[in-house]
Structure formats: structure tokens, C-alpha cells
Chains A and B, each alone.
Chain A
């Protein structure tokens, strides 16, 4: 059996600025991403605005998730007991290697050479498909977008709409090639029909299915999945064996809590009032659904996040991707720039944490901290706050190394901190700046080129030169004498 690395949520090719730069060169992708996010955003705004209690629902969602995380051990144990009682088998996987080993083992027990899959980001996170393929098992994605990604040997760029970076013509060309359909039309129906024909055969024949889960329900031991296409329900009902891999953070206390999330999740994710298919399943039932049911509960770096009080809210996420659609950085780059299964603002905080800040260290900086993500998040994760907390970790860790300590950034920030502690130092620095900038200032009074790391600014932007007189100098000259005398007058009146 060939092993995969312990954690694979991060592709780790290059850091965000470099990957983003590459993505910015691709105008077709950028156009597709902008168009798709604009459409989803507009729908989302419309269906949330019509809810008079939207803010209350967000608050309720946040409370339920935060509560479940505070008592995670309790609810997971409860889930395990109830799931087992209903005839399910619960497996605990501490990392990707263990999860892959468990799943492959189950598949091999049933001599399956093929498995059908419902879209699951958790399986992307652990690199399950690659692991199965390396061991002679062919995974077949049944979600249309995931199928597109799989056939096109691409990577998802969005975790609700994984192929959002591709347009219809691109999908058609890929289907023509991969499904050997040279005459395929380019209407949405043509593409859907091609995929349906391709998939139907799999649904009816393949005996093992692998799914993720949107929610683990502690009080019933059930799992809930929401989806739009119905392919998930086929996978949940037709095969003999169902294996669900779910992150441990996905637990909610009770079936009743679904009431909140089945309202907020679809509205946030795709701008629909309700998902067309909401399935909950619980153990096994004679004559109905799979004969064998397994749940793999995945930690893979989640426990340390839980232990970090400042960052714990990261785990409240219900993966609606509203933060991606709202994010101006994501709008420009699409998901691939994040080099991670989890893109966008949530990816920027989740990915580096899943890797104990060892990988994806540039991601907490992949944000202008504009706050659009926090505004839309249906479980109120304050992503900007967590980004800053993680930046703090990056800086502290960097400062502990020789290179980090003597980096231009660190020296510059230390120098600025020194100046800001004392106004006379700052005033002095301003004076030095006014003189020192002179060689850089063009005739028009602007700086059009800056050296070193500041050069990023002047690549596309001019900078107005510092005026000869700062506000504090102006005040000292023009206002202070007058202010002092009026102060004296006033005191005279009062006294």
C-alpha cells in the first residue's frame, strides 16, 4: 500500500503572492470567476434580505456551533454511541494517513475496484482519490462539477462550485475529449445529459459509495447532507456499502438544530431558499439503503485549532463558501492561488492552521482585511480577527529565526514602532523623510519609483510626496499660540 503525506490540504507549490500573480495572467479564468461570484452574490443578497430574522439566524448558528465545539468530546461520544446503536460503524482517524488507510481497507474488504463519490472536501483534504488510485481503486466523482474537475485533471477552485473557474465552452471541449463525444452540443442540457448518461451506469453498478457530511447529529447518530443535483441521494441509497468521512468539528447537538442551518446554508451557499435535496441517514435499515454503513471521524489537525481560543471559531465553518463569493481578493485570483483545497478567506485561516502554521504561511496575508467575509458568514466567524491572530503567529515565529529577525520587514516595523512611541522622534523622522525623499520626487511632485519592498506600490501607483509642512508643524506655527491664549481666557471666565 502506498502512503500519502500526513496532511495534504495544501498543495504547497508556491506562496500566495506568486500563485496569485500567475492567476492574474489568466484573463479567461478571471472573467469566469468574476461572473460566477457576481451571480451567486446577487442571489445570496436577495434571499438573505427577504429574511427578517437573518441576523438572528446568524447569531443562532454561531451559538450552536460554538457550543458544540466547546463540548466537542461530549457530542462526539454521543454521536458515536447513537450511530453504533443504529447499526453504523464509527472509526476515528487522527490524520490523513490513518483515514486513507481505514477507507482503503473497507473498500478492499469488499473487493471493490471502483467507488462512487459524493462531493466531499474532506476527502480532497486527505488526498483520498490519489490514494485509492495508487492502490488500484478507481474513484468516480458524481457531482457534476467534481466530475468536470476529475475528468479535466484540474483542481477545485471553490468548495461549493468547484468548477466555477471554467465556462460552458471549456467544459464542453473537455467532455468531448474525455467522454469521446465529438458531436456534443454546448447547451446546458447537452452537458447535463452527457454527464447523466455517464453517471447512471456507475450508480447502478458500483457497490461502494464514499460521501462527506454537512452535519453529524449527536442526539440521533445521523448524518446530514445537503445538495442540489440528487447525485448524492443516489450514492446514499443505491450502493451496498456507504463510507462517510467527516471532520470532527461538524457535529451539532440535535436534529432540531438543523432548523437553523437548513435555512442559512443554502441561502449563503448558492442563493437558494432551500437545497433541492436534504438527506439525513442514520445507521442501516433492512431492505432500505446500504447494508453497511461506516463513518470515519477525521481530526487531521483540528484538535490544535480547538485548543487555540483565539482561532477556535475557525471550526464553526459550515463550508457555505459565502466568504469566497464576497471576497475581493478571491474575485481577482479565483481559488487556485490559495494552493489549497480550502480557498478564499476561510481557506486563508483554515489551511495554515491544519498544518500547524508550517505550510500556507503566506495565506493569512492574502486579505486586505476589508471584512466582507465576516459580514456574510452565516455562523459569524470573524475571519479578519483570526487572520490578524495568525499573522501574529507568523511574525513571532519569524522573529525567532535569524533570517526573520534581520529581514527588512522586521527591521522596518521595529523602527516604526520605535518612532511611534514618542512624538518628538516621529516629528524628527518626518523631517528626515521630507529631506530624504527629494531624490525620489519627480517634477510633478510625485514619487513614481520606490526601492526594495516598497517597490510593489510604485509598480502601478504614484505616491504624493510628503509636503514640506506636517500638520503638527502647521499647528505649532499657526494655531498653538492662539489656542494657548484662548485657553487662558476661558480659564479666566470659568474661574
Chain B
């Protein structure tokens, strides 16, 4: 399958290793990956902060870049939820019927990375090995908008050597919320403190998630507190130390 990547703006600038990991996992599964350098951002930051009008040209740009893509895979559930929950609304707000139609046709071809692996490809074992204690943070959008359920957990359970530690209050937000973490820095920090405590209580060395936005937040505090716990995007774990032979069997 020919898969187009959308590397979100903060992943592009701050977490390039996540994009590389997605490329490596999907190539290993035998897919052809393309990256369209014209891509920029999904518009979420503007939309969620109330800059609705300013988000529309960004949305339009995204649709233009990917309108003919066979499949778009995105390593961020919050960006995918921006598309699924708000794009049509934004286009309607502009009274742009053509854009509405284009979005309707594009949306079914858009997948979050772990969702793509499990729901679209039917793959749970990508042949990875990661001999570490790991805990999984379920980001809000992955749970409540994309309804990923236990998909990321199923993927993690197939990773060789990985010791998955359950976390308390998995359902509760880490307090990032984009500009919320700046506009309400104090409350956001208080929420983060609770989340970090739960992460530390698991005894894990690594905290993973399907969103680098949450992980950036968590790591921000884990690092400030000088803990040894690190964060890694799910894709990076799945890209690690693969046991070659297995990959051929699970190729979609």
C-alpha cells in the first residue's frame, strides 16, 4: 500500500525521531511511504484556541496537499481528532461546500498510526523488541475522540522483552491541552503533577503514548524533577530492535 505520512508541525520540528520510526515500521511491513514536503500543520492550535477563521486556510492547505492520497497516516491522535471532529464544521462555517465534500471524501483515508496498524492492516505484532519497563499514557483524544480503546496496549503486548506496567487514573488528562498549558499554567501544572506521580508509581523507565504533545508535557516535568524516567512515542518502541524473521510473517 502506498502510505502518505502527515508529520505534525511539532513532530516535524521537535520530534523528528517519531516520524523516522513510523517510516521504519511501515516500510518493514512492506509499504511504500511518501512524505509530501508541502505539508505544514493540521490547524488544531488555532482552532482550539479560538482562532477559528485563521484555522481555515491551514485546513484548506492540508486538504489540498492530501486530496489524492491513497492513505494518510498520522502519528498523533489529537491531530486526527481535529480532522474528524472539526474539519467539516470549519468548512461549513466558511460556507465552502466544495471543501466540505473534499473533506468528506478524504476523512475515511486518514488514520492515526496505531489505528492504521491494527484496524486497517490487522497487524498487532510488528516484530519489535524493547527490553524495558514501560507504562502507557492514554491521551484524551486517543480515548474519547478516536476511541482507540486498547489498540496501543495490544501493540505493546507483542513487543519482545517489554514489561508493561498499568497506570492509575489512566483516563485523566495530563493537563497539556495545547495553549491551555500556557494560558492556565498553574492548573495545568497541578494536573501534570498528579499524572507524573502516577507515572512514577508504576516504576516504569519509559512512558509511552500515541501523542508527542502529551509526552512533551510529561517529559517536561519528569526532566525538571530530574527523574530517570523517559518518554518515547509508541512508534519509536515499535521501531526498536526488530526480530527480522517475524516481520515477514505478519506483513499485510
Contact = CB atoms under 8 A, between A and B. Distances in A.
Contact of B32 (A388, A394, A490): A490
Interface in B4-48: 7, 9, 11-14, 16, 19-20, 23, 32-35, 37-41, 43, 45-48
B189 A461 contact: yes
Contacts of A474: 16, 19-20
Interface residues of B, number: 71
A433 B13 contact: yes
A370 B51 contact: no
A198 interface: no
Interface stretch (A69-77, A265-273, A275-283, A449-457): A449-457
A453 B187 CA distance: 15
Nearest to A450: B182
Given A328-B175, A433-B13, A370 B186 contact: no
Given A24-B186, A453-B182, A474-B20, A461 B217 contact: yes
B16 A471 contact: yes
B219 interface: yes
A416 B48 contact: no
Interface string A355-393: 000000000111111111011000000000100101111
Contact of A17 (B19, B39, B49, B184): B184
A249 B181 CA distance: 34
A472 B186 contact: no
Contact of A460 (B20, B50, B85, B221): B221
A479 B187 contact: no
A422 B190 CA distance: 37
Interface in B164-195: 171-173, 175-194
Contacts of B57: 417, 421
Interface in B59-117: 61, 85-86
A417 B187 CA distance: 27
A244 interface: no
Contact of A370 (B49, B173, B223): B173
Nearest to A413: B51
Contacts of B23: 479
A333 B140 CA distance: 20
B50 A466 contact: no
Interface residues of A, number: 70
Contacts of B194: 331-332
Contact of B184 (A366, A471, A472): A366
Contact of B38 (A370, A413, A423): A423
Interface in A1-46: 16-17, 20-21, 24
Given A17-B183, A332-B190, A464 B37 contact: no
Contacts of A487: 34
B219 A333 contact: no
A433 B48 CA distance: 24
Contacts of A472: 7, 12, 35, 37
A391 B49 contact: yes
A192 interface: no
Given A367-B180, A462-B224, A395 B185 contact: no
B151 to A, nearest CB: 18
B186 A423 contact: no
A454 B50 contact: no
Nearest to B52: A392
Given A371-B144, A421-B61, A392 B35 contact: no
25 contacts: A17-B184, A332-B190, A368-B173, A368-B188, A371-B143, A374-B144, A388-B52, A392-B51, A393-B50, A395-B51, A413-B46, A420-B9, A420-B43, A422-B40, A423-B38, A423-B40, A426-B40, A433-B13, A456-B182, A457-B220, A460-B192, A464-B14, A470-B12, A470-B13, A471-B7
